[in-house]
Structure 1
């Protein structure tokens, strides 16, 4: 039989201290505050699967906190994977606060402080994996720690029944079977981390593309503003200029060049437009954000090989000859 730690035989005035010590031995050292001191009820069933510690925790409402002081007293860091089998857990780690409900899965790193609030009676199935067994970087782990995951799809859907089974039946397996199951669980956890990283990459790509579209629309809508610049664009989107430039690294053009190119395109389009009256080159340049006519003529010639006036003359002549395409 697996060891059982329970408050059922402990005097009321000693329950809190007993429970705190029990959690520290079965899981990791932490401070625990039961919501009902004297009538508190809690039970832990512990076991091992190969080199992994497994636990079933069932208890009344409580709050638990692991601090830097607790971490310094711990022998070996581990990564815990928990399945919520009843009640709720409000979990906070690394700046993330999320709530797990029944059938949810969450991962936490015992080498980092965390806070758990169980507002009602709850039960968890928990596996502690020694950090040294995971061939993962701290950055990769941060992608899952402090996160609550649905077990309805993906790797979490496979990991949930695996954890429920091995935790409940840890005492039944032979040493060789336990070792194989432990390796399988470690592999599944690593796969979960990889899957989440791929999902975040896709989400980040979607966010990046959305932001790029917004920036391009903003530039097009403000080409006539002489103050339009990388600094003003970044400010309008609440991002740093550095991040704005990084955003455009894969676009093959800097933000400044994009602004200038779009202004030149609009000027070229307007200069080639037929009409009874044609605005002056200077007026066209100013309408699209060019303050200095000399500078405008120079960059226009650099882009199109003709001065603005020559461009207008050639394009209008082509219209008259019927050889120009639609501008």
Structure 2
């Protein structure tokens, strides 16, 4: 995988930066450790790219004439040092825990004034549930990582990066979908706080946050609509109306996503030694009979039949 480091111009008076340009001009798949050069480790989670980089003070610059680019939307999560992100007339100053996104198809600039480390998450724009105008309003927008959904998203991304070093997640598209949901929710929430919005826009931006919150807690068998509403500081009735607009209910949405996680786990060979009851409980289904019944009504076969048919 190669993130947008392959597309940019690096500028600095430091003698190591000339060598960095040559390193950045190739698709990097393994860790590099060459003194002041960047250390770069990359992998995939489903269709999402993950990269961990560390380096010296300098600037990553994409101009209008920089040539072909990766065409990705990239999130930079600062883990040490400071980064200044500039795009679309905005500048975000990131300290450890903060993150921001850039659209690599357009000019942007990243400036590091100290040695730094950061996590980069690369997503194709088509995977983001955002209109182009909405994405443009979110670039170079600082999402604080010290509290709220920004903190939840930052910790989630760090955990995913750590997990990706321990096991192969390249085919885990469900996890990739969860990453997209929580990142979108954090960005939307921060945009709302910075700019204010109409009631209709608030409803449209609130739903991704609600879904991200519920997605992160599907393993809790006691998760219920009242708890979700309370956590989002809205009434239960208002929460129900958000889902009614999509032709479903809160409980149906939670149940459907739990079932999908169970379905994926049942066909995953690494879970062959795990009983169906344990897999069901892992996603909040404590009643095996109930789980078997709704699984069959959803997928047309019992969990055991489904697993054997794999």
Alignment length, in residue pairs?
182
Q: Which residue in the other structure is 1:23 paired with?
A: 24
CA distance in 2, matches of 1:26, 1:83: 21
CA distance in 1, matches of 2:183, 2:25: 24
Change in Cα spacing, 1:157 to 1:18, as seen in structure 2 (3 Å) is same
Pick one of 142, 164, 172 that aligns with 2:136.
142
Alignment of 1:226-265 (within 5 A): none
TM-score by length of 1: 0.50
Pick one of 29, 39, 62 that aligns with 1:43.
39
Task: Provide the secondary structure at the position in 1 that maps to 2:102.
Answer: strand
Alignment of 1:103-182 (within 5 A): 103-175=97-169, 178-182=172-176
User: Within the alignment, does 1:192 sit opposite 2:183 as a pair?
Assistant: no
Q: Which residue in the other structure is 1:221 paired with?
A: none
* Partner deviation per Cα, 1:181-216 (whole Å, 9 max, x = no partner): 1111011122223323433453789xxxxxxxxxxx
Q: Moved runs in structure 1, 4+ residues, more than 6 A?
A: none
User: Within the alignment, does 1:73 sit opposite 2:68 as a pair?
Assistant: yes
CA distance in 1, matches of 2:68, 2:118: 24
CA distance in 2, matches of 1:101, 1:55: 18
CA distance in 2, matches of 1:190, 1:90: 21
CA distance in 1, matches of 2:189, 2:101: 14
The answer for unaligned runs of 5 or more in structure 2 is 6-13, 29-33, 200-310
Q: Which residue in the other structure is 1:307 paired with?
A: none
Task: Provide the secondary structure at the position in 2 that maps to 1:117.
Answer: strand
The answer for unaligned runs of 5 or more in structure 1 is 6-12, 28-37, 206-327
CA distance in 2, matches of 1:176, 1:88: 30
CA distance in 1, matches of 2:97, 2:156: 13
Q: Which residue in the other structure is 2:58 paired with?
A: 62
CA distance in 2, matches of 1:106, 1:201: 16
Give yes or no for contact 2:44–2:169 (8 Å, CA) kept in 1. Answer: no
Task: Provide the secondary structure at the position in 2 that maps to 1:161.
Answer: helix
Who wins on radius of gyration, i.e. which is larger?
1
Give yes or no for contact 1:49–1:182 (8 Å, CA) kept in 2. Answer: yes
Pick one of 48, 52, 56 that aligns with 1:52.
48
CA distance in 2, matches of 1:78, 1:165: 22
CA distance in 2, matches of 1:204, 1:89: 32
Q: Which residue in the other structure is 1:88 paired with?
A: 82
Task: Provide the secondary structure at the position in 2 that maps to 1:166.
Answer: helix
CA distance in 2, matches of 1:142, 1:46: 26
Shift of 1:177: 6.5
Shift of 1:22: 3.5
CA distance in 1, matches of 2:62, 2:75: 16
CA distance in 1, matches of 2:105, 2:170: 29
Give yes or no for contact 1:126–1:167 (8 Å, CA) kept in 2. Answer: no
Give yes or no for contact 1:41–1:60 (8 Å, CA) kept in 2. Answer: yes
Q: Which residue in the other structure is 1:299 paired with?
A: none
CA distance in 2, matches of 1:47, 1:166: 11
CA distance in 2, matches of 1:128, 1:119: 23
What do you get for the CA RMSD once the two structures are aligned? 2.9
Shift of 1:126: 0.8
Shift of 1:59: 0.5
Give yes or no for contact 2:44–2:170 (8 Å, CA) kept in 1. Answer: no
